[in-house]
Structure 1
């Protein structure tokens, strides 16, 4: 039987990838993907039965999404930082055009136009815009540091405002907050004066307050979070029932009952299914895996001398960690309700592919590379 091994003297692209990529992060990601398949298998049959399709309809579709997602993540992780920058720029232009198209041809669902139909599939362009934007913004900020005459900060702000304007026109306030947080942390890491950071934070706060008074659906969600009796909190209440029912060790695989009446049990509230069937121990394991990935990659990035790699990598890491935090916070009623998937665990084609797209770039940027440029004069190798 033939075996495949990589030696440090092997100069093939896959061998170089193997010896430079963060293998511990890949192991942790693999664990998340396996957990996601197990939880999809646990949560989705009840949802499928409720809507009248085959019990394993969502499981098969998740596998169909997973295969190209993993392949894309691997292929992108082989790239150099310069290739990542070029790839993200092209992807950003394409996904930005798709984001604009949602305002014209997007399907209206619950008062928002966020999806574009592609035959039997539906794609949410905003999911793909996030990682592409953060890499493009990281490049602009890094180029400004390399060449003080280059208006990188201004261009980054203009691109940010354009993306946010389209998201608010859909409207999608949740994605707007997420992108704003990613961009704000990028600016902080890039060394923007604290006065400007505080001014931008104040503007964001004013915007959030304005959204509360001007957008009824935003006000409704915040009111229901602060006062559960102010409106319909059915999914949140059922999610809390699931956690209480599961206790420390859970009811056991397949023994959960709340998933049968929880509409989004396989997507936004899959963490609640984990709590009921596998208990608090499994939920803590999920939290620790996410924390490990974020801290592990940040520790590698903070040793980086190339400003582009640092800014883009930090932004992508924040996206990954913050999205997981928001999803779990909503499930536990620690944050206002927001439809956001749990990375690599929730069911969803656009989410899975977009996360693989972003994580592939993050794995590529966090690879060990000898001879990177300095922060003040670094090039992109």
Structure 2
């Protein structure tokens, strides 16, 4: 496609980006379009919309998502940090505005309308938050006098403090888990990890004791007789009905009764129409992306890049696991989308932003350091 001697930015990008990782992400994007075609028409019909309303919008959202992913993947690590700071600060402002003026949907204020477009600010804050926390931890490793841990805690507190009032406990839990994984990857002492783990457990207990919404979800998970578990029960049945090879495209029935079949429960629709084999292939693609990203992080010597890639990949992987676990009734319902598969404009574009940063940070760059783990160090020339 491009000669190796070609010095144009696009040519340099092509020869330095991880094309295998890029291909896996694009495979998920295409899979999302196909599965949206299977899951969303009944939802659109129930709402009195054109049958392919959500399919068309999904396709429209994919275009800016890919554009964002490509554009961000061209950036240098220093530019990644600066962009993350801007996105994080603007996102926090939008989160405040969402609490004040956002539309209430199903008892939650998570969306802010701008120029007629609904935006979920928390989706964009997540990847930016991860990169800034990686910077804070890495600076602490480089300079012991730098209050990196304190900065990371303050960033988590600011983000979580604006998520809980929405309320969005699923995103809060995800942010805390990713933050904890990065703390562990940064090599912090077990005293820190145990202490913060205890605070997290205490937070869950306090939420269960004081917030009926949280208590209801946990009670329904532990005891199905404690409340309405229709969506989860229907999702489980879809796996039984689909079997190994599915009932065939368009032959599923679960999508006609699940109100969130195109978002939270698209994995269940996949199981019924395409079978468990296709679900396992989907899981394998997610696992490949996670392992490929962690492989890149493992061979990095630059603390910032290592922690940022680790955090972004853990964010991607944990969100995937949570969505699929809810569909299989392995954990309480969280309202979490399946990356690149579920319908959702803010989710798809923010995932493009996150994976663009992963592609940027894992690009091969001029070699100037010794070999690590049998691979040439790719950290030279980074800002």
Aligned to 2:263: 267
Say whether the 8 Å CA contact 2:178–2:311 is kept in structure 1: yes
What is the RMSD of the two structures over their aligned residues, measured on CA atoms? 1.6
Say whether the 8 Å CA contact 1:305–1:378 is kept in structure 2: no
* Cα deviation 1:55-85 (Å, max 9, x = unaligned): 1111111111110110110010111111111
Q: 1:378 to 1:75 in 2, by over 3 A?
A: closer
Aligned to 1:280: 276
Q: Note the C-alpha offset of 1:370.
A: 2.7
Aligned to 2:297: 301
Uncovered stretches (5+) of structure 2, i.e. residues with no partner: 371-376
Say whether the 8 Å CA contact 2:101–2:112 is kept in structure 1: yes
Q: Note the C-alpha offset of 1:313.
A: 1.0
Q: Which moved more, 1:318-327 or 1:21-30?
A: 21-30
1:319 paired to 2:315: yes
Q: Note the C-alpha offset of 1:113.
A: 1.5
Q: Note the C-alpha offset of 1:379.
A: 8.2
For residues 40-59 of structure 1, the aligned pairs below 5 Å read 40-59=36-55
Uncovered stretches (5+) of structure 1, i.e. residues with no partner: none
Q: Note the C-alpha offset of 1:378.
A: 8.9
Aligned to 1:360: 356
* Cα deviation 1:296-316 (Å, max 9, x = unaligned): 111011100111101111110
| TM-score normalized with structure 1 length | 0.96
Separation in 2, partners of 1:108, 1:43: 25
Q: Note the C-alpha offset of 1:46.
A: 1.0
| TM-score normalized with structure 2 length | 0.95
SS in structure 1 opposite 2:40?
helix
* Cα deviation 1:72-116 (Å, max 9, x = unaligned): 100101111111111111111111111111111111222221110
For residues 108-127 of structure 1, the aligned pairs below 5 Å read 108-127=104-123
* Cα deviation 1:151-173 (Å, max 9, x = unaligned): 11111111111111111122211
Q: 1:180 to 1:200 in 2, by over 3 A?
A: same
Q: Note the C-alpha offset of 1:380.
A: 4.1
Separation in 2, partners of 1:209, 1:304: 38
SS in structure 1 opposite 2:112?
strand
Aligned to 2:67: 71
Say whether the 8 Å CA contact 2:365–2:381 is kept in structure 1: no
Aligned to 2:336: 340
SS in structure 2 opposite 1:169?
coil
1:178 paired to 2:174: yes
